[in-house]
Amino acid sequence: MVSISLPITLAMLLAAPACGSTQAPTSTPSANVPAPATTPPSPTPAAAKVVVGAEQLDNYLPQLKNKRVGLVINQTSRVGNAFLVDTLRARGVNVTAIFAPEHGFRGEAADGATIKDGRDARSGVAVRSVYGKTKKPTPEMLADVDVLVFDIQDVGARFYTFISTLHYVMEAAAELKKPVLVLDRPNPNGDLVDGPIMEPQHKSFVGLDPLPIAHGLTVGELAKMMNGEKWLAGGRTCDLTVIPLATGYTHATPYHLLVRPSPNLPTDHSVRLYPSICLFEGTNVSVGRGTATPFEIIGSPAQPSSRPFSFTPKPNAGSPTPPMNGQLCYGLNLAQAPAREKSGLVLSYLIDFYKQSTDKAHFFGQYFEQLTGTASLREQIIAGKSEADIRASWEPGLGKFKTMRAKYLLYPEK
């Protein structure tokens, strides 16, 4: 993380010339969208030592012996370079179903695209969608399943939908008295706990449980919390087993994602920025979907043309119909900006973009409350509240959450 303070960084971004030129930006995408890195950053030595739950086969294969196994997995579900489904089948595990979340089993579907039932061409296993007509497995979908295995890489934000899928899978399993096995993976934002707690009236698939925006938990710890706090429907609990990360992991351990967790989070930096920048998805500001660097750039046609950076979203594989499609957006390139403030989430971008918007009446959309989990943040920004005042309003809820969170931690903070 860059050590300079955010206000200085923001001022530098605002003062920097657009794309290396002091001329007005053009609408040519190749001229104003930064090229992606040719090679991903190398994992740190600490990251290389992390052994995920899926790789500890001896610790969970006995629980799958002679069972009909349903896998809740996607493209991140790997044992080394091999897909988990192929590894398990090679070990003689009877995999009867794959449950596909948002973006699909292979992670190729665009954001928000409906996932359809099908069959995996390589393994021949039935693929059943949990991101389509139903997001909670039905009794019929689980009829040929004795045990469910969840193994998906999360990024630590409440609105990242894979943890909502985990909630519904556990809920369905609890109702049918089927065990759930969670193969734990690191949270690349595991050192961040911040934001307002989700209020019940704003419950949706991008926020099912009363978590802050950044929860600082692994999926294994979250599963324990869902059970322990009786958040599943009817206060039920499921028969849960977590295969934890190997010893030595802490919530502060850097973790390089070898496989992008979703189409529009292609780099470690975009993953670190995501909890803060995703809030712009509830505004008239583009987060760079439809460009080579989603979640590392922000901009809008309703921002001043004097902004130091510009880009034009165009349809691509990750976003066939991106927001602001074909429109010149003025904003900031965050490729070299810190992903955090000292106190947590980066709020200054959101406050600044509202203040400078040329269309304040349409800056916020209805989706903003679903992402933030509260109506107060919109109200506070419109009222001109300071960042310090906004953060102070989060503290009572955050304090209670942190106390509760401590009960479910499987790994030290540092």
b/e 32-52 (16+ beta carbons within 10 angstroms → b): bbbeeeeeeeebeeebeebeb
Q: Is the pLDDT of residue 192 over 80?
A: yes
Banded model confidence at residue 144, pLDDT cuts 50, 70, 90: very high
Residue 254: predicted pLDDT: 92
What does pLDDT average to over the chain?
Answer: 89
Residues 6+ apart with CB under 8 A from 266: 36, 260, 293, 294
Say what percent of the chain tops pLDDT 90. 81
Nearest to 57 by CA among 26, 82, 40, 35: 82
Residue 332, H or E segment: strand 329-333
CB 151 within 8 A of CB 84: yes
Q: What is the pLDDT of residues 215-273, one digit of tens each?
A: 999 999 999 999 999 999 999 999 999 999 997 899 999 999 999 999 999 999 999 99
Most distant CA pair in the chain, distance: 68
Q: What's the rounded Cα separation, in Å, for the pair 223 and 180? A: 10
Q: Is 176 exposed, middle or buried (0-12, 13-18, 19+ CB in 10 A)?
A: middle
Residue 122: predicted pLDDT: 84
Cβ neighbours around 302 below 10 Å, total: 20
Q: What is the pTM of this model?
A: 0.88
Q: What is the pLDDT of residues 352-374, one digit of tens each?
A: 999 999 999 999 999 999 999 99
Q: What is the pLDDT of residues 38-48, one digit of tens each?
A: 333 334 334 44
**Lowest-pLDDT range, 20-24, 92-96, 176-180, 204-208?**
20-24
Kindly state the average pLDDT of the residues 96-119. Answer: 84
Helix axes 387-405, 219-228, angle to 10 degrees: 80
